[in-house]
A = this chain, B = another copy of it.
Amino acid sequence: MNIAVLGYGTVGSGVVEVFFKNKANLQKKAGQELDIKYILDLREFPDDPHAALFTKDFAQIAQDDSVKVVAEVIGGLEPAYTFTKTCLERGKSVVTSNKELVAQKGAELLEIARAHQVNYFFEASVGGGIPIIRPLHMCLAANSIDEIAGILNGTTNFILTKMIREGMPFETALALAQQLGYAERNPAADVEGQDACRKICILAALSFGEHVYPKDVYTEGITKITLEDVAYAADCGCVIKLIGRAKRGEHGGKLSAMVAPAFISHESQLGTVDDVFNGILVRGDATGDVVFYGKGAGKLPTASAVVGDIIDCAKATGTSPSLRWNPSEGGNVASREENVTRMYLRLQSDTVKLPQAVGKLFGEVHTLNRAGQAADEYACIISERPEHEIDAAIAKLEGMGVTLMGKVRVLDY
């Protein structure tokens, strides 16, 4: 069975490395001979040990019927989308780490794969080297999944860990993450939450059976989190983590789905996921809570997930009927305003008596304290209610001259 690798960046070169390193063992597991026949990249790699495999011509790969599996590790929407579609239509299975493409076009590409009796696998698109896609649709097949939540982005988790453990300010932690190669020079996709958003969309679609578009999921990054927020979280036994979550709609209603920083217990399975690690919690009706933990990114973990999918394609006959979801027009996610949540608030005013004002608007609250707290600062956790009510109450406070310094959801993980 011949394989082509599209893209020779970090993941692509990792795929080639893992493949040749473990080739004998992989062939044993696949039950047949395997070889990488082409590597597609527009750049030149004259000194690469696999220089003979390089091509710049996608058509050469598409037209070679001996190529049965294609690893698309280019990333982004185009040309990845066109290449993937072409390969599937020509009867080649495609495996990928491209979360952006799966989150945007997953339902369509899975349907094309089904129609041509091949597979579209994307284990590496969520959680890097952590097995999550396959356990979700196979091992947990006998469950109805009610909720899925996770720390899905290693870069932001590294930054938050540095803030929590070492009291490092956000900007310093971000600079360190960039220096260590965990964050891009333009870190927006990580720190603004878009990367986590694409991943929770894929997990939600697979869990609940309907495509979920990133644009429909309220997404808030970690750029506004301060060391003061971290200190207040510690006061109630919590840590701040960037959580992507999706929950089945009740009574056939819309899904809830959101990406946002949250207070969670520092002793829980998700609360102890630190540094660049990821953790994903799946709540099934029969199995209860199951958590998957590991390195969510990096060359070799991600590449090993892609290669695992290649092996699986080699063993498969026809399409996997459990790896699919229905297309959707979008608009199937409840709005942020409808979300019901507990909320941490940090307020400042030198004229308003904050405990009294907050008590009037929110009833009983849990007051928080921190070392070095200013006399005109007040922080608390308010009880569960819809966010539109919280918005309205905050607007009232602001009308009274109160400044909102911090606002983070409090979740039960």
Contacts and interface: CB of A to CB of B under 8 A. Distances in A.
B292 A292 contact: yes
Contact of A123 (B139, B301, B304): B139
Copies of this protein in the assembly total: 2
Nearest to A310: B142
Contact of A304 (B287, B293, B301): B287
Interface in A231-247: none
Interface stretch (A215-223, A317-325, A354-362): A317-325
Interface stretch (A27-35, A185-193, A380-388, A402-410): A27-35
Contact of A293 (B30, B293, B312): B293
A321 B86 CA distance: 30
A303 B286 CA distance: 8
Contacts of A288: 129, 294-295, 298, 300-301
A69 interface: no
Contacts of A315: 320-322
A25 B143 CA distance: 9
Interface residues of A, number: 57
A289 B138 CA distance: 22
Q: Which of A28, A129, A142 has the most CB of B within 10 A?
A: A142
A292 B28 CA distance: 26
Nearest to A294: B290
A328 interface: no
A179 interface: no
B301 A286 contact: yes
Contacts of A18: 142, 286
Contact of A134 (B26, B139, B267, B291): B139
Nearest to A299: B286
A305 interface: yes
Contacts of A332: none
Contact of A290 (B130, B306, B310): B130
B290 A321 contact: no
A73 to B, nearest CB: 14
Contacts of A295: 287-290
Contact of A142 (B26, B138, B144, B291): B26
A12 interface: no
A330 interface: no
A139 B143 contact: no
Interface string A304-343: 1111101110010100111000000000000000000000
A96 to B, nearest CB: 15
17 contacts: A18-B142, A19-B142, A26-B141, A28-B321, A29-B137, A29-B322, A129-B287, A131-B139, A134-B135, A135-B135, A140-B304, A268-B272, A269-B272, A287-B294, A288-B295, A289-B295, A293-B293
